[in-house]
Chain A
Amino acid sequence: MQDVKVFMADRSANTKLSVKLKEKLLKHNILIYYENIHCDTAVILKGDFINPLAFQGKKVLAVYLIDGAGATTWDTLFPILYKPILHHYYDEIIDVGGYDTVGEMADEIAKEVKRLKNETD
């Protein structure tokens, strides 16, 4: 069983969406961390200025966003500019976007965390 932790950049922590996501993930018994803590697999929720290199072990980027039009985060500045090179910094990239509700998104993140916990190297 892998030790999997979920992280978010603290600059992103207080947006409405982030607060809602944190509450929904708590229902799945998943805590969000804002500082680097050792783990086997770091699931990093897309946010501002989070440094992927600060994390040890496997690094997974979970890319998400829900905006009013239901667009995914691949439409916004961060992924467009950095998407071509993200695979150099993350072992895996999960696109969690495209859901209409934060609840559905949290369910998907929880499912991925469970999968990662059961992975063996």
Chain B
Amino acid sequence: MWASWLCQIIRKKAKVLCLGSGNGYEAVYFLQDRWDCYTAELYHPKVKVLKGRQVKTFGQDLPFRDKEFELFFCCETMEHISEKFTDQILLEAKRVSNQVFFTIATRDDPPFCAHICIHNAQWWMDKFEDLGFDIINAQKKPMFTLLMMKPTSHAAAQVLRFPDGVAIHARC
């Protein structure tokens, strides 16, 4: 979903790295929109279109050149990683890309309890600024408007608000 939005605002066919891509939905979306997308993830789903584009690596030590990517994309991953690695990962993101887009949950996720690095939106925004990122856009409880065309009637707009989390788009 964030990928489809970013595809509208960042130049086409850019090179993208998705950290913590999971099942690869966003990466597949980028590829379908003809971006040159790669994933950095410990889990490699068997999806044909991702073949050859999946790199098994930890975020704090990325095997890529400086500024190799136009965009570093990381959606709902940072809250699952111990805080002791946060700075390293963000600095690696800054090293390998020209701009970053993160969405980070800011609250716990019962009953799974998989969120181990929980901070409020301001903490994350301060973190990015302290590490030298130039924040373009940051939203607490981000929301976006979806326009839907129903088959039998007029278009409908739906505003979707995420109950938790922060979205940060920044230059490196």
Residues of chain A touching chain B, judged by Cβ–Cβ distance below 8 Å, are: 51-53, 71-72, 75, 77, 80-82, 84-85, 88-89
Interface residues of B in 21-51 (CB under 8 A from A): 23, 25, 28-29, 32, 45-49
Q: With contacts A53-B45, A53-B47, A88-B47 known, is A80 near B28, CB below 8 A?
A: no
Return A92 CB to nearest CB of chain B, in Å: 15
Closest to A51 in B: B23
Cβ–Cβ < 8 Å partners of B45 in chain A: 53
Query: Nearest residue in B to A84 (C-beta to C-beta)?
Result: B32
Number of residues on chain B facing chain A (CB within 8 A): 18
| B150 contacts A53, C-beta separation under 8 Å | no
With contacts A53-B23, A53-B45 known, is A88 near B28, CB below 8 A?
A: yes
Chain B interface residues toward A at CB < 8 A? 1, 4, 23, 25, 28-29, 32, 45-49, 146, 148, 150-151, 158, 160
A81-B1, A84-B32 known; A89+B146 contact, CB < 8 A: no
Q: Note all chain A residues with C-beta closer than 8 A to B4.
A: 81, 84
